Amino acid sequence: MKKQLHNIRIIILEQNGKPGGLASSERDNNGFLWDMGGHVVFSHYEYFDATLDRVVKDWNTKQRAAYAYMKGSDDVRRFIPYPVQNNIEWMDKLHQKHSLSGLEKVAANPLSKNLCNFDQWLLSNFGTGLCDLFMRKYNKKIWTLDPTEMNAVWVGERVAVPNLDKIKFKIKSFDKGDRKEKSNWGPNNIFRFPKYNGTGNIWQSVTNRLPREWYRFHHKVVGIDLGSKSLKVKIGENKRYIRDYKYDILISTAPLDLLLQMIDEHKGSKVDYYKGLTSQLAFTHTHIVGIGLTGQPPSTLSEKSWIYFPDSDSPFYRVTVFSSYSEHHVPNPGSQWSLMCEAAEPNYYTSPKYWTKDNLIDATITALNRYGFIDPDMIVSKYHRRLEHGYPIPSLNREIILQQVQPWLESQGVFSRGRFGGWRYEVSNQDHSFMQGVEVVDRIFRGVPEETYNNANIVNSKRNTGRFIRETLLDYQIVVAHYNEDLDWLIPVANRSHVYHKGTELRPPALQLYAWDKLPNVGHESHTYLHHIINNYNSLPNITLFVQGEGLSDASHCFSTLGEMLSKTYNNISCKISRGIKSGGWGRIRHSGKWREEKLRGEMRPAKFSLGRFFKELFEFQHPLEIPVCLKGCIGATKDMIRKHPIEFYKKAISFIDDHKNPEEGHYFERFWAVMFSEYHVLVSDSRSRS
């Protein structure tokens, strides 16, 4: 059952002093900016993209250039374009032969589809050669578990499956001298990145668009009582103060294992049993080591985005040329650059001495120097951050645990979502995590089923448009009532134009419109405008321009340019007034031209009321002696002008014209837009004295 969205209070408790969590950014003491890992922005969702378009204005768009750096059988290290399995022609001949042989055996004798673990999945798709040379080594390094200890449910689009015929063709071409590097497989082959302040800028900007009173920073939840539905929260940077918070519904993004540890036992809850289950969930600790450098990257790195390292002679599994994402990541662009390195520490059986800050920084610098990437004399900044929860590992028993714990939590009014709240790596990127939040709220309050959390393979295999945002925070938006008119005049402002089509076209025109919707052909442009107001009442931009499909230049009663219309909107009302309705003109409209002919032929449905009576029915007060008129249905209004009437007013208004394609009341509305949106009392000449 859908819940009513009345009297709802939202409180967001964040233990840190800023938003973002694992997707935050920070500058070190020397002015170098660092992310908490190699995040890039690509998306499966229009909703996510639309949100980012709004909140972050400045982006850098990058072509991904990813590589693996591997030692060959001849002890020579080579850059292999990513993914390795699609680019084995770059290996030395012995490794190339070993990899190709394994692929051929798999093609000739495919393994059973009933795969018990990730290692079997790797073998069934890549053969023993690639698994020995790269797959097992790299996956063990990043996950810290042997692939035999991981399930294969999570893989989906995450791993490219090679095409044997294409690989053989590439090997022949390579031997003939055609050595084009192609490292652009996958959903993030083109990615964008904030020009300023790193990935954290995204989530700070999202936060800035939401009500500030929702947020409680430096608030760490340390206890949950499911019986009383209350939280125990430590407050302040030093967490010295404790406060209790009551809740009706709790949405948690805390790691699932930590969430269960916070829950107090209460009668019949079996909390200890579920705590025992979540304690079996596997994860890694991630160490971020940032190296700020003088000069510019060597030629071996200058055109690369990030690099994977499967061999054991370096602590890191990935290095990102972070300064290539934005020049603002370094304090002195042009004379400085930076490398961001990631290392995975196992959750079990760790060597405390090896994983200390100083040792990891030293080991990182040693490896980078050995590879010829840097000279220690170039280093001007060293950064380290340890993330307690880095990667949620898709272990063998993960699904068994989640299928028991999550339903129980939801039965208690607790919804655990996000990278570690949901503990499903396959839907834990920024776009996935964001949409998990959107979808769980839709489920709770609107009864709309979630899509992302339980359907990774489906959402990752397509472009998801079902929750595309129709609300807008644009400074202005153009609403167009369209039938069959040429819309080329919209080209300069297409991305700000919401076109409502009432003709016979099934698809939008080839313009990059903000939105295109089909409406029934009723009520002229008045129905279109009222429909838009009703459906966007709570998310109107600062200014809305309502225009017919013929545009401004062909509308003699409208402004000649959008700029002129915009400039006048804040001055009470924007419409071109050549005449108005005066005393004595409140009877029936005397139509002329084609309108008169349509009325005579019975094609126009006559209005039930005279103009004066309709005014009173709509506005519920007697009409004044004189009002301005905006003919041709071309008008602009601010959101405050529109919202001076409640939404019920517009629902009543549309009820007069939604039953016929040519109702006479549509002509009445052309005469009332100015009154509807302007401060009409200024125009009233003692209307109360009229009977």
Mean pLDDT computed over 296-324: 96
b/e per residue, 244-258, with b = 16+ CB within 10 A? Answer: eeebeebbbbbbbbe
Predicted local confidence at residue 239, as pLDDT = 81
Q: Is 622 left (phi over 0), alpha (psi -120 to 50) or beta?
A: beta
Q: Comparing C-alpha atoms, which of 353, 391, 366, 81 is closest to residue 255? A: 391
- The DSSP annotation for 431-472 comes to HHHHHHHHHHHHHHHH-PPP-TTT-HHHHTTS-B-TT-----
Structure tokens at 266: 């209460």
pLDDT band at 472 (very low <50, low <70, confident <90, very high): very low
Residue 83: is the preceding peptide bond cis (ω within 30°)? yes
pLDDT band at 151 (very low <50, low <70, confident <90, very high): very high
Q: How far apart (Å, rounded) are the C-alpha atoms in residues 69 and 311?
A: 8
Q: Which residue has the higher pLDDT, 624 or 468?
A: 624
**Does 451 have pLDDT greater than 90?**
yes
- Hey, what's the torsion of the CAs at 127, 131, 134, 140, to 10 degrees? 150
Q: How far apart (Å, rounded) are the C-alpha atoms in residues 502 and 500?
A: 7
Q: How far apart (Å, rounded) are the C-alpha atoms in residues 30 and 330?
A: 9
- Hey, what's the torsion of the CAs at 297, 298, 299, 300, to 10 degrees? -100
List all residues 6 or more positions away from 647 whose beta carbon is below 8 Å from its beta carbon: 533, 534, 537
- Hey, what's the torsion of the CAs at 542, 547, 551, 553, to 10 degrees? -80
pLDDT band at 564 (very low <50, low <70, confident <90, very high): low
Q: Could you report the per-residue pLDDT of 51-90, keeping only the tens digit for each? A: 998 889 899 988 889 999 999 999 999 999 999 998 999 9
Structure tokens at 49: 């993209």
> Which stretch of DSSP H or E encloses residue 580?
strand 580-581
Predicted local confidence at residue 555, as pLDDT = 45
Give pTM, 2 decimals: 0.68
Predicted local confidence at residue 579, as pLDDT = 55
Mean pLDDT computed over 108-120: 82
- What backbone phi and psi angles, to 5 degrees, belong to 437? -65, -45
Q: Could you report the per-residue pLDDT of 390-446, keeping only the tens digit for each? A: 999 999 999 999 999 999 999 999 999 999 999 999 999 999 999 999 999 999 988
List all residues 6 or more positions away from 235 whose beta carbon is below 8 Å from its beta carbon: 216, 218, 219, 220, 241, 242, 243
**Does 226 have pLDDT greater than 50?**
yes
**Does 611 have pLDDT greater than 50?**
yes
Among 74-83, 312-321, 664-673, the least confident range:
664-673
Say which residue the tokens 């898709």 belong to.
394
Among 276-285, 326-335, 421-430, 501-510, the least confident range:
501-510
Q: Could you report the per-residue pLDDT of 572-601, keeping only the tens digit for each? A: 445 554 456 655 568 788 877 887 888 888
**Does 318 have pLDDT greater than 60?**
yes
Predicted local confidence at residue 682, as pLDDT = 38
Predicted local confidence at residue 622, as pLDDT = 81
Work out the angle at residue 111's Cα, subtended by the Cα atoms of residues 105 and 117, and round it to the nearest 5 degrees: 120
SS percent in the chain: helix, strand, coil, step 5: 35, 20, 45
Whether the CB-CB separation of 515 and 499 falls below 8 Å is answered with yes
- What backbone phi and psi angles, to 5 degrees, belong to 414? -120, 125
pLDDT band at 506 (very low <50, low <70, confident <90, very high): confident
Share of the chain above pLDDT 90, in %: 56
Among 325-339, 559-573, 627-641, the least confident range:
559-573
**Does 17 have pLDDT greater than 50?**
yes
Residue type at position 410:
E
Q: Tally Cβ neighbours within 10 Å of residue 608.
A: 12
Q: How many helices (H) and strands (E) does the chain have?
A: 19, 25
Q: Which residue has the higher pLDDT, 348 or 255?
A: 255
Predicted local confidence at residue 514, as pLDDT = 78
Work out the angle at residue 335's Cα, subtended by the Cα atoms of residues 331 and 338, and round it to the nearest 5 degrees: 65
| HEC secondary structure over 184-237 | CCCCCCEEEEECCCCCHHHHHHHHHCCCHHHEEECEEEEEEECCCCEEEEEECC
Q: How far apart (Å, rounded) are the C-alpha atoms in residues 194 and 589?
A: 57
Q: Average per-residue pLDDT in the chain?
A: 86
b/e per residue, 312-348, with b = 16+ CB within 10 A? Answer: eebbbbbbbbbbbbbebbbbeeeebbbbbbbbbbbbe
Say which residue the tokens 């005397």 belong to.
590
Among 73-82, 232-241, 315-324, 564-573, the least confident range:
564-573
Predicted local confidence at residue 363, as pLDDT = 97
pLDDT band at 171 (very low <50, low <70, confident <90, very high): confident
**Does 552 have pLDDT greater than 50?**
yes
Q: How far apart (Å, rounded) are the C-alpha atoms in residues 166 and 452?
A: 33
pLDDT band at 471 (very low <50, low <70, confident <90, very high): very low
Burial of 464 (0-12, 13-18, 19+ CB in 10 A): buried
Predicted local confidence at residue 312, as pLDDT = 94
Burial of 230 (0-12, 13-18, 19+ CB in 10 A): middle
Q: How far apart (Å, rounded) are the C-alpha atoms in residues 203 and 47?
A: 15
- The DSSP annotation for 117-186 comes to SHHHHHHHHHHHHHIIIIIHHHHHHHHSS-GGGB-STT-GGGSPPP-HHHHHHHHHHHHTT--------S
Q: How far apart (Å, rounded) are the C-alpha atoms in residues 267 and 553?
A: 73
Mean pLDDT computed over 113-133: 91
Beta bridge partners of 381: 292
Mean pLDDT computed over 624-651: 83
